[in-house]
Amino acid sequence: MQKTFDNKLVLVTGGAGALGQGVVSWYSDRGARVAVLDYSDEILASAFPNPSEMHCYEACDLTNRDSCVEAVGRVVRQFGEVSILANIAGGFLMGDPVHETSDETWNFLFDLNTRSILNMSAAVVPAMINQGQGKIINVAARAALAGAANMGAYTASKAAVMRLTESMALELRASGINVNAVMPSLIDTQRNRSDMPDADFSKWVTPAAIANVVGFLSSEESAAVHGACIPIDGLS
């Protein structure tokens, strides 16, 4: 496989999750150095039992700006400037009706799906502006295109990701930075299979398929793409 991302440093949040691991693998296969961020050292060690010298692994609370700034600082000191930020971390809860939504549910979804992007952007974007280049890819959701019963907080948090992506694209394109997002439908993960054992898994979108689109949005071929939110529907 052609090493098209040699000398690129890619920072992947939520890197120990199913989608995060798929994205980490995609970049690793193409020669990138990858900084893998997730909530704890234990989670990272479990997901990556055989550490790679082309990776660094950083525990980081994405909901805390200081934690993000500190983690990015450690990454930069070890590997150099960040070329690509893949904001893969996110969460889902099948909640309650809007009028019964708890503060805990609301805060969990907006912290993990939305605030994490704000915090990582604060930590990474100033250096990208100084570099005069960079790629940022966020993860929204196909479900964010419309409201859904008992999913109000989730769809609202992912719709916010779309609006943040569009706003950042307009703010940063003149600095040579592309900001785009992917919008997966139901992802084929072990957890989703366990939660929905009677579903037709063949129609779900795979982490590898999503990683292909994330990779494209960070490539030179996507240099003219700004503020796109791309649905990835698999075969469903």
Catalytically annotated residues:
154
Instruction: Identify which of 104, 122, 100 has the alpha carbon closest to the alpha carbon of residue 112.
Output: 104
Q: How close are the terminal C-alpha atoms of the chain, in Å?
A: 30
Q: Which helix (H) or strand (E) holds 138?
A: strand 134-139
| Phi-psi group of 14: left, alpha or beta (phi > 0 → left; psi -120 to 50 → alpha; rest → beta) | left
Residues 139 and 88: beta-carbon distance below 8 Å: yes
Eight-state DSSP code of residue 54: T
CA 11 to centroid of chain Cα atoms: 9
Show the DSSP H helices in 61-206 as ranges: 65-79, 103-110, 116-131, 152-172, 190-195
Q: Left if phi > 0, otherwise alpha if psi is -120 to 50, otherwise beta: which for 18?
A: alpha
Burial class (CB in 10 A: 0-12, 13-18, 19+), 222: middle
Distance CA 29, CA 60 (A): 24
CA distances from 167 to 89, 90, 127, 172, 202 (A): 20, 20, 19, 9, 35
